């Protein structure tokens, strides 16, 4: 979970205008958030 959250956090920060990517990484980044 730590590895996925780290990757999601990085991806979530880059595609700010990507609703599809954001929703896909939201559950993974939730741990980091």
Is the torsion defined by CA of 10, 12, 15, 16 positive or negative?
negative
Q: How many CA atoms lie within 13 A of 14 on its CB side?
A: 7
- The pLDDT value recorded for residue 27 is 57
Q: What pLDDT is stored for residue 9 in this prediction?
A: 63
Secondary structure (H, E, C), 1-33 = CHHHHHHHHHHHHCCCCCHHHHHHHHHHHCCCC
Place of tokens 């595609």: 15
- What pLDDT, on the 0 to 100 scale, is given for residue 16? 58
pLDDT grade, residue 29 (50/70/90)? low
Tens-digit pLDDT profile for residues 10-27: 666 655 555 555 555 555
Residue 4 vs residue 33, higher pLDDT: 4
């Amino acid at each position: 979970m730590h590895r996925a959250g780290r990757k999601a956090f990085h991806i979530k920060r880059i595609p700010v205008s990507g609703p599809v990517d954001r929703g896909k990484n939201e559950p993974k980044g939730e741990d980091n958030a």
